[in-house]
A and B are shown apart, each in its own frame.
Chain A
Amino acid sequence: MNDHLFSPTYVNALGALPGTRHEWLDSLRQSGRALFGAAGLPTRSMESWRYTSLADLASIPFSPASIGDVSEVVSVPMEVPAFSDEVLLVFVNGEFNSKMSTVFEDSDFDFEFRPFNTASETNISWVRSRLGGLAIPSDNSIVALNSAYMAGGAVLRIGEGKHVDKIVHIVNIGHTGGEPIAWHPRFLFVLDGYSKIKVIESHVGLPGQPYFSNQVVEIYLGPRAEMKRYIDVQEDSEAFHLATSAIELKSDSSYEEFSLVANGRKVRRETRLNLAGERASSVLNGAYALEGESHCDITTFVNHSAVHTKSSQVIKGVLAGKSRGVFQGHIKVKPDAQRVEGHQLHKAILLNRGPEVDCKPELEIYADDVKCSHGATTAELDPEHLFYLMSRGLDPRGARNLLTKGFLLDVVQKVIESEVQHAYQDIISRWLGSRSEAEDKAAQL
């Protein structure tokens, strides 16, 4: 239980949260507060938090990030990938920063965008009817915490039949001053029937005090809607990044996600996805590269509630230093969900003695006409492969790096967008470079 996050000091420092005068929003926050007050931060005695401790998070006296449009411009860290033809939406400490973002009207790009705070104040009907509908506080006290304090973030709606051509690039920057800070942004995406959008989410932090980003994302996909979401998480080594996504897919809709995590002190990405309509399909792929004391937990709950739905998931990780990787993948197939396919694969490579991987695949199947599979392997780099590369002249480090890169690129290459692939290749190369530097430093000691 983090007393700081719940102390009068924190609440007072918070000031007025946006939209409090609207009863529906206020009651969401109140119930979040009540639930978090009762449950506290998740502990390792809870099944889905068994491998990820938040004791270190609990010990830090976070202050709330300031609410309201941040007018100062901070420099966008060079780690953030740039894409041709993107609509840039920059959030600093969870709050939308209009100065750093692309300026546009609703009609320009075929989607409606409002910063969360604006949307809360103006009481938009499609927000009121959907917000809190998918991310359930009682499922996860982290969601309750976000509900209690939600501010910052944004709402986006793509209307019926609209195809958004441009890449919507959401850049989340963590910028602490002299003290540790926390923010709880809420994102809501509503895709009406037959609509399409490609979203890139980058998460970075400027070095400084620890920060706690507690993001909740709710995504509603209408019939035949398509969303591609590519997420890169390159948080500061002192950062706590907890992100919970709740996604609902109506008939014939599709959701494709790739998340790439490089380091960060503690990263937990939890996804609850419901294939609620016939023939809906989802792909939840990802890769992570961890060194030092980084901890990355990818936890997913995929629910097949309708017939002919398909889900697939491939996650690959490389671990060095004393890092820790966790993968928990739960596939549930409801009794009436026949002709369903659900596949899940997690593979990890340990680059030295020290890291640990915990893997918990679960299949909960109640229908009888299903095709489900899961697999998990953890290994070291194959010595035969290393030998083969060295026999072509690559030195041992060059061989290890090429194999490590290849191992991750194998899943990155499932992303069709070549710009995104190249951006991810750069992130991976940078990680390998900093790892080599760390190795050299250690060797000198």
Chain B
Amino acid sequence: MALIEIEDLHVSVSGKEILQGIDLEINTGEVHAIMGPNGTGKSTLSNVIAGRDGYEVTAGTITYKGQDLLSMESDERAREGIFVAFQYPMEIPGVATSTFLKTALNAKRRYQGLDQIDAVSFLKLVREKLKILEISEDMIKRPLNVGFSGGEKKRAEVLQMSVLEPEFAVLDETDSGLDIDALQVVASGINGQRGPKTSFLLITHYQRVLDLIVPDHVHVLVGGKILRSGGKELALEVEAAGYSKFIEAAAA
């Protein structure tokens, strides 16, 4: 049984059909990448997986660990091990990043029947991860994402992911807007999480990040449909030829 199975998923936003029949299977331990031009439904997919309001599933199913994901609330999905790093992370004034993270971690631990973690132990746990992502302790004392640059926000999303240790992480254009140094830091964070128990779905526009986070499978998403799937070489094909080649091929 695959970790996550998406079958014939159709999703509409404000009455307009964006995803027009997505089929996708991701097994535990695999890294998948979805590449596509802008406006093609990439973020729609990650928002539907997260359970955001405003995205209407008109047909199809998503099965996660054998359960019907679409009937689960957002918080339940997260506690069951799903994490979505959003393209535009929210700024939450007054809530220190570390407080938020500790609260989220404890919510998960409570759900799993584990002990709650206190502030001191939490800081110890987080220090390693802060180093890899080049985030200072000072930064996590600040309110969540407030005043963070685009790059800092992306790194903060990856920090959340590394603290919460999800089983399935969707990274929605985590690479966009990052210079090569920032990208390498983020990639280290993600690669550090890679393992037999974790699966990733990287959603990206550019091939560049896939040099650093090498995927097992690549899918080309255009016009709300997956036009082609393949191995990591497919990403290089896309970079060389552009998306129009795939659009033409599909139309033929």
B215 within 8 A of A: no
Chain B 38-61, CB-CB to A under 8 Å as 1, else 0, gives 000000000000111100000000
Contact A406 B74 (CB under 8 A): no
Which of B94, B103, B111 has the largest count of A CB atoms less than 10 A from its CB? B94
Contact A391 B74 (CB under 8 A): yes
B56 CB → nearest A CB, Å? 16
B107 within 8 A of A: yes
Contact A392 B104 (CB under 8 A): yes
Chain B 56-87, CB-CB to A under 8 Å as 1, else 0, gives 00000000000000000111011100011010
Known: A391-B78, A393-B78. A410 touches B104 (CB 8 A): no
A407 within 8 A of B: yes
> What residue in chain B is nearest A409 (Cβ atoms)?
B94
**Interface size range on B against A:** 20 to 34
Q: Point out the residue from A391, A394, A396, A410 that lies within 8 Å of B94, measured CB to CB.
A: A410
List A contacts of B75 (CB < 8 A). Answer: 390-391, 393-396, 399
B108 within 8 A of A: yes
> What residue in chain B is nearest A408 (Cβ atoms)?
B94
Contact A406 B143 (CB under 8 A): yes
Contact A383 B53 (CB under 8 A): yes
* Docked complex Cα distance between A402 and B116 (Å): 17
B174 CB → nearest A CB, Å? 15
* Docked complex Cα distance between A398 and B105 (Å): 12
List A contacts of B160 (CB < 8 A). Answer: 392
B164 within 8 A of A: yes
List A contacts of B240 (CB < 8 A). Answer: none
Q: Point out the residue from B78, B90, B95 that lies within 8 Å of A384, measured CB to CB.
A: B90
Contact A403 B104 (CB under 8 A): no
Q: Point out the residue from A388, A394, A410, A411 that lies within 8 Å of B143, measured CB to CB.
A: A410
Contact A389 B94 (CB under 8 A): no
**Interface size range on A against B:** 20 to 34
Contact A391 B143 (CB under 8 A): no
A395 CB → nearest B CB, Å? 5
B100 within 8 A of A: yes
> What residue in chain A is nearest B95 (Cβ atoms)?
A406
* Docked complex Cα distance between A405 and B93 (Å): 10
Known: A392-B100, A392-B164. A387 touches B52 (CB 8 A): yes
List A contacts of B90 (CB < 8 A). Answer: 384-385, 388
B212 within 8 A of A: no
B247 within 8 A of A: no
* Docked complex Cα distance between A387 and B107 (Å): 15
List B contacts of A123 (CB < 8 A). Answer: none
Contact A391 B51 (CB under 8 A): yes
Q: Point out the residue from B78, B86, B95 that lies within 8 Å of A403, measured CB to CB.
A: B95
List B contacts of A101 (CB < 8 A). Answer: none
A98 within 8 A of B: no
B9 CB → nearest A CB, Å? 19
**Pairs of residues from A and B, 3 with the lowest C-beta to C-beta distance, nearest first:** A406-B94, A410-B94, A406-B95
Which residue numbers of B lie inside 8 Å of A, CB to CB?
50-53, 73-75, 77-79, 83-84, 86, 89-90, 92-95, 99-100, 103-104, 107-108, 111, 143, 160, 164
